[in-house]
Amino acid sequence: MSRAEVSPTRSVDDDTRRREPEDVRRRQLMEATIDSLAEIGFNASTLSQIARRAGVSPGLVAHYFGDKDGLLEATLRFLAARVSRGTALRLAAARSPRARLQAVIDANLAPEEFDQRTGSVWLAFWGQVLHSARLRRVQKIYQSRMLSNLRHDLRALVAPDDVRRLAIAIAAVIDGLWLRSTLSATGETDAASARAVAAIFVDAQLAAATPASAKGPNPMNSTPRHRNHVGGQYIAASGKTFETRNPATGEVLAEIEIALEPEVEAAVAAARAGQKIWGAMTGTERGRVLKRVADLLRARNDELAHLETLDTGKPIQETSAVDVLSGADCLEYYGGLAASISGEHVDLGPSAFGYTRREPLGIVAGIGAWNYPLQIACWKSAPALACGNAMVFKPAELTPLTALKLAEIMKEAGLPDGVFNVVQGFAETGRLLTRHPAIAKVSLTGEVGTGKKVMTDAATTLKYVTLELGGKSPLIVFEDADLDDAVSGALLANFYSTGEVCSNGTRVFVHAKVREAFIKKLVARVKNMVVGDPQDPATQVGALISPDHMEKVLSYIAKGKAEGAKLLVGGQRVTSGKLGKGCFIAPTVFDGCSDGMSIVREEIFGPVMAVLSFEDEDEVIARANDTEFGLAAGVFTRDLARGHRVIAQIQAGTCWINHYNITPIELPFGGYKQSGLGRENGKAAIEHYTQLKSVYVNLGHIEAPY
Ligand code: NDP
């Protein structure tokens, strides 16, 4: 689907389909609150009156929202989120900075914001904002979101000095038009005329302002510039920047400001302040916020998937079905666990007992790889935050965009400022984190070599480390396997995300008896795979992350041929049509491989499969384990006893029987040997983001020998 085809109707339907029954009940209660506020006003709307209106018990309302303040906060968020969604959809369809300004105006002055019911509720809330810190926080997010949208596009239209002033002026006109119309008994302005008045105002202001072109490049072509997200807002950095590009076209997507020492220090200071507030909240309260983040991620799935595909080159059919949703699942999972993170009671006889407290570590750093940027940011932040820590996250410099969106969404969901910060840059920025004395732990996803450097640096301040590193995983197909399933598994194990998956099963061991039949089915299916524009929903194999990485993968293909492997399919760059400007390689299968070849020993991180043959169970186990890596493994067999027996002997942290590359959040994920330390996901991750305090409590007198 192209951006122009995004229609509000379609997306609202999608939202509704995605909504869980719990969400439907919450929504019903918020609708009842809106009705109540519209009809009888703020003071008369009590929790029990709202419950009666919704036909439920007050206890149920309390179960979902805590108290009246909680219910009102949720309802205001609900209204604000509706405006945000409307804005996002209109922004996605707008083609120029001026059109995007109008999109912000149109969303805020949409007809549904003018009806009496909605208007009176907004007014009731604004009236309470001065008296409630919780409502104030939501209002602040709503206002700063509008300003930041306006500023973003004004930067392309007017000189930097005029940007802030104009953004505030346009926001004031939007609010003023809405307020006058809502308060006016005579219906002074309707949505259409309010939008027209705002449009005239904007055009007059733009005509009077100094154009951006007077101080820089053509505004219509100007590249967006993104700052570091620290303490709940974007902060200016030293001025050094790098570019992020779309690997499918080579087009520059954005300029990113690099975080060096001052910005990292600011992030650590913000994290320290944020963690004090966050760590003092109950697990239930923290869980509620994380659940809201998950809901917002799901609601914005399409927009985030689009951005992730632009930045990574991965097919939209994957990012829209996996990347964002897996991040949301993780936040929901840890949001649910947050309330149950606890220590234990230890019986020490009649006169004493002990207990343990599971406490946060403090400030933790997350450093991400480029293959699953948003998912990695969620997989690291969700357990860290559930346990009460604050996080400073550095995305890979090749994919800096979606982590910033996650930071914005976390803020919108009510995460206190400073609890999740994003700093951008290269290894130098990463090192500032791994060496920082105030950071208690680093969680890295990256290459083995980077893992070793991170661990060395972390040792200087004795930090905890979790390392999710590379792999060269085996996938074993026994002679009794369902061959169609085994081929499906091998395809998932090698070509998902264009082969850029750490757990990929790139050494495919096939029993000699079925090798020929397996290869026949495999090659037929690989030949049918669609390599193409990642934004096209039909595309199955997108672009590799960068020209350098593409060259690396091509050099492995050349080595495979030179070392005597037999190329069955693929093996070349794809340059047809518009793909010539991007980093596309056809899915490639080598047969006749032997254990010593470079393509069998080294991680390629691209769409290259090596098929090997075996005859005996013990033989294949020994060969599968003959690697420095130990991230993942898969076995295909109908004999489940054999499946378990083989997996028990495989040295790998994440294993599948009759499947491959499926990673439910409930199961811990991580590697043996050089593939990593520690685990992400599942309850296991809680251990890695908490420290245990033991408390001995004496109930009697102390007997001292002195
Ligand atoms: P890298 O190791 O090159 O980079 C990972 C991150 O570490 C990047 O943000 C990078 O910054 C940063 N970094 C690099 N050097 C340092 C340093 N000395 N100190 C601190 N930070 C540093 O990995 P890639 O991004 O190339 O990702 C691909 C690798 O990640 C593959 O080996 C893959 O197997 C592995 N991976 C492992 C997964 C797992 O869960 N086990 C999952 C996904 C990928 P910069 O971006 O500037 O280089």
Nearest residue (by CA) to ligand 1, atom 37, is: 469
Pick from 184, 276, 326: nearest CA to 661: 326
Q: Give residue 61's pLDDT.
A: 85
Catalytic hit among 502, 583, 593, 655: 502
Pick from 124, 118, 423: nearest CA to 257: 423
Expressed in angstroms and rounded, the spacing between residue 370 Cα and the centre of ligand 1 is: 7
Ranking 163-172, 398-407, 655-664 by mean pLDDT, the lowest is 163-172
Region 552-567: what's the mean pLDDT? 98
Beta strand segments in 478-530, E: 507-511
**Is 552 part of the annotated catalytic residue set?**
no
Relative to the CA of 372, which ligand 1 atom is closest?
43
Ligand 1: does its nearest atom lie under 6 Å from the Cβ of 434? yes
Expressed in angstroms and rounded, the spacing between residue 115 Cα and the centre of ligand 1 is: 51
Expressed in angstroms and rounded, the spacing between residue 446 Cα and the centre of ligand 1 is: 3
Nearest residue (by CA) to ligand 1, atom 17, is: 427
Ligand 1: does its nearest atom lie under 6 Å from the Cβ of 371? yes
Res. 217 pLDDT band, cuts 50 70 90: very low
Cβ neighbours around 184 below 10 Å, total: 10
Whole-number Å distance between alpha carbons of 656 and 648: 11
Nearest residue (by CA) to ligand 1, atom 44, is: 502
Burial class (CB in 10 A: 0-12, 13-18, 19+), 548: exposed
The number of CA neighbours under 13 Å toward the Cβ of 482 is: 9
Spatial contact of 523 and 558, defined as CB atoms under 8 Å apart: no
Whole-number Å distance between alpha carbons of 9 and 674: 49
- Residue written as tokens 């050349």? 558
**Is 276 part of the annotated catalytic residue set?**
no
Ligand 1: does its nearest atom lie under 6 Å from the Cβ of 509? no
Res. 187 pLDDT band, cuts 50 70 90: low
Which of 323, 431, 447 is the best mutation target for the ligand 1 pocket, counting ligand atoms within 8 Å of the beta carbon and taking the most? 447
Relative to the CA of 631, which ligand 1 atom is closest?
41
Res. 213 pLDDT band, cuts 50 70 90: low
Nearest residue (by CA) to ligand 1, atom 30, is: 446
Pick from 669, 671, 639, 673: nearest CA to 657: 639
Ligand 1: does its nearest atom lie under 6 Å from the Cβ of 602? no
At 82-112, the pLDDT tens digits run 887 888 788 877 778 888 899 999 999 988 8
Whole-number Å distance between alpha carbons of 37 and 42: 5
Contacts of 216 (CB under 8 A, 6+ apart): 222
Spatial contact of 487 and 518, defined as CB atoms under 8 Å apart: yes
Spatial contact of 423 and 393, defined as CB atoms under 8 Å apart: yes
**Is 405 part of the annotated catalytic residue set?**
no
Residue 215 above 50 pLDDT? no
**Is 380 part of the annotated catalytic residue set?**
yes
Which of 433, 450, 665 is the best mutation target for the ligand 1 pocket, counting ligand atoms within 8 Å of the beta carbon and taking the most? 450
Ligand 1: does its nearest atom lie under 6 Å from the Cβ of 469? yes
Spatial contact of 506 and 472, defined as CB atoms under 8 Å apart: yes
Residue 4 above 80 pLDDT? no
At 360-410, the pLDDT tens digits run 999 999 999 999 999 999 999 999 999 999 999 999 999 999 999 999 999
Q: Give residue 268's pLDDT.
A: 98
Nearest residue (by CA) to ligand 1, atom 21, is: 430
Expressed in angstroms and rounded, the spacing between residue 233 Cα and the centre of ligand 1 is: 26
Q: What is the DSSP letter of 320?
A: I
Spatial contact of 473 and 634, defined as CB atoms under 8 Å apart: yes
Catalytic hit among 73, 113, 263, 680: 680
Whole-number Å distance between alpha carbons of 371 and 247: 12
Q: Give residue 3's pLDDT.
A: 30
Region 626-640: what's the mean pLDDT? 98
The number of CA neighbours under 13 Å toward the Cβ of 537 is: 7
Expressed in angstroms and rounded, the spacing between residue 467 Cα and the centre of ligand 1 is: 10
Ligand 1: does its nearest atom lie under 6 Å from the Cβ of 368? yes
Cα 414 to the center of its chain, rounded Å = 17
Q: At what angle do helices 401-412 and 301-312 cross, to 10 degrees?
A: 160
Residue 12 above 60 pLDDT? no
Mean pLDDT of the chain: 91
Catalytic hit among 314, 380, 394, 441: 380
Q: What is the DSSP letter of 214?
A: G
